[in-house]
Amino acid sequence: MGVSLKPVFNRHGQKNKSGKYTISIKVTIDRKTAYLNPKLPKISKEQWTDKPNKWVKDTHPNHFLYNKTIQEKLTELLDFADRQQLLGKTITLDKVSEFFIRRGDKTVFNDYVEEYIRTYKFGAVGTKKKYETFNKLLNEFNPCIRFSNLEENLFLNFRDFLKEKKNQKGNTIDKYFDPFKKIVRDAVKRDYLEKNPFDGVELKIKKEKPVRVTLNSTELEAIENLTFGENDKTLESHRDMFLLLCYSGLYYNDLRELTSDSLVFEKGKEFLIGDRYKTGERYISPIFLFPKAKQILEKYSFPEKSLPLISDQKFNKSLKAIGVKAALEKNLFNKVGRNVFSDQIGSKGFSELMLKKFLGHTKDSRSFKHYVEIEAEHILQFIS
């Protein structure tokens, strides 16, 4: 299958007031043609020669940069076509165009990661944030990883970098290898790599069993009964937001997404309904089961007014102070509220499937072989 490339000037033969026109690269594959734009500044007809390697005349002040860029683009495209042929792949205009418009150095994996994150349609903000953090860590580890460098030794060095330089635990290290592997698979799919370099690699990441922190009824009551002076009013609002997590099963970031549409009434019963900030999965939280949840929302005039929220870091810092004030022997943090909610729901006899819907867990969880769509009315039928 033949591929021909030719720089062309003003391919439409247009005329305009400026007298300057676009340089394109004409790509022909099996008599089918496409034009690619190297995005060079326009030039006049008098500055174009159409001679190989000297397309732009020496009289142009930037002729060297123009000709150099055109040659680099041609070389990139020819190398791509040759690699496709060596891999036994069919070369098409669509493949060539997709390769050409991809930003950055096409031999550098870091640039590929940047472009992947820029163009991929992430289902949830939290997922994109994880990929952006991975990208930041990868660039800190090595800002210029070529595709040819992607092999077992580099993966193990990146693992050790996360562990020793960034003080990451096994579970966190494993989390950042998820986007690494997915982007590599995408590069294989798009023929930037002949095969997946992760195949057969044993990362040997030692994972810790997560310690689940929750509160019993006495500990929860101690937090509920805390009193605050004038100097502690801010801490009081943070306490209330933590209790709202305990009564709704939401994460702190999910509270940020609440709107007037989130508060739904079904047969006179209150629900908080929305999509998880982290995963985009839908949740249905039956807050009518916990009257104190309604009291907190009314206390802060929600939804007419926004809830008193701060950054995650400051919130977790406040929770530590609240734990001390309540004389708890446990460290409080964001997720504890969600665990408390799960325990309370479990004690009320709800099935694991319904708990899954309350919490907004993903549909393909290994805990279930089948997924059943649950709505607020189904929850009410279970209670009645």
Domain made up of 217-383: CATH architecture: Orthogonal Bundle (1.10)
Indicate the residue type of 129. K
Q: Which pLDDT value is given to residue 365?
A: 45
CA distances (Å), origin 245, targets 155, 270, 335, 367: 38, 15, 8, 23
* Segments of the chain assigned E as strands: 3-9, 20-21, 23-29, 32-36, 43-44, 48-51, 54-56, 263-266, 269-275, 282-285
pLDDT of residue 374: 45
Cα dist from 130 to 175, 278, 317, 325, whole Å: 9, 10, 22, 34
Compute the Cα dihedral for 117, 120, 126, 127 and give only its sign: negative
Interior/surface letters 112-146, b for 16+ CB within 10 angstroms, e for the rest: bbbbbbeeeeeeeeebeebbeebbebbeebeeebe
Burial 54-82 (b: 16+ CB within 10 A, else e): ebbbeebeebeebbebbeebbeebeebbe
Sequential DSSP letters for 275-298 = E-TTT--EEEE-GGG-HHHHHHHH
Structure tokens at 167: 């003080």
Q: State both tokens at 170.
A: 């096994």
pLDDT for the residue numbered 208: 83
- pLDDT one-digit tens code per residue, 39-57: 899 999 999 998 999 999 9
pLDDT band of residue 120 (cuts 50, 70, 90) is very high
> Domain residue spans in the chain?
3-101, 109-189, 217-383
Q: What is the mean pLDDT of the chain?
A: 89
Whole-model pTM: value is 0.57
Contact 226, 325 (CB under 8 A): yes
- Burial class from Cβ neighbours inside 10 Å (0-12, 13-18, 19+) for residue 317 reads middle
> Average pLDDT of 214-218?
93
Mean pLDDT of 315-330: 95
